[in-house]
Amino acid sequence: MADRKTQLQENLEATRAEIHRLSERADRKTPELLPVTKFHPAADIALLAELGVTDVAENREQEARAKASELPQLRFHMIGQIQTKKANHVARWAASVHSLDSLKLARALERGVSLAKERGEREGNLPVFIQVSADGDGSRGGVIPSALSELVDAVEGAEHLDLAGLMVVPPLDADAGEVFRGVRQGVDRLSAELNRPLKMSAGMSADMAEAIAAGSDIVRVGTSIMGPRPVG
């Protein structure tokens, strides 16, 4: 266990140093680091907490729910696609959602947060990032550009949701830098319209440099910190 903790500490330090280096090179402010812990055991995540990590991200609701229950000292964020029927669960444990991509899901999360508050399972509102589709193919997650305004209005009108910003995952065949720059412009435009600062959640281990250069506020990094996914 000591060896694993040392390994995680070294990976964390190296990742943070790389983020700082890329930020300086791009003359951008250093973004927040959100470690992605999907598929890794709760014991690993507990070690991250011992190393000072306070927030982690998960992709799958059931896995995240179990880990959040086991590790109440940490804040868990949902970054994967959410089935509407799982919205009530997500509303109970998620510190934020980075993958809101439909009116149907927004309504389900709104109901879920309201219910969680009534039951004493949650205190505050749920911050949400709207996931945008870079190529207009909503089947992979993300709202198409023509539907973004309507979804923004729905979140702004919700009593229990707070719009935190926009999230994007570039398609594999896309120019990641171009995608990130476009979303950064969208975040800045919305910030001006709503008269408050919103954030951009973008960049993973493979495209972190492009995301930081475009002005990402939150990078979601898994492999560089946690290492390869456990086998079996």
Q: How many angstroms separate the CA atoms of 178 and 168, rounded? A: 12
pLDDT of residue 1: 64
Q: Residue 196's pLDDT is what?
A: 98
The pTM for the full model equals: 0.96
Dig out the tokens for 186 from the structure. Answer: 């969208």
What would the two tokens of residue 197 be? Answer: 């600062």
CATH of 2-225 among 3.40.50.10300, 3.20.20.10, 3.40.50.300, 2.102.10.10: 3.20.20.10
Torsions phi, psi for 175 (to 5 deg) = -80, 105
* pLDDT tens for the chain, residues 1 to 232: 669 999 999 999 999 999 999 999 999 999 999 999 999 999 999 999 999 999 999 999 999 999 999 999 999 999 999 999 999 999 999 999 999 999 999 999 999 999 999 999 999 999 999 999 988 876 678 999 899 999 999 999 999 999 999 999 999 889 999 999 999 999 999 999 999 999 999 999 999 999 999 999 999 999 999 998 876 5
Cβ neighbours of residue 105 under 8 Å, at least 6 residues apart? 82, 84, 87
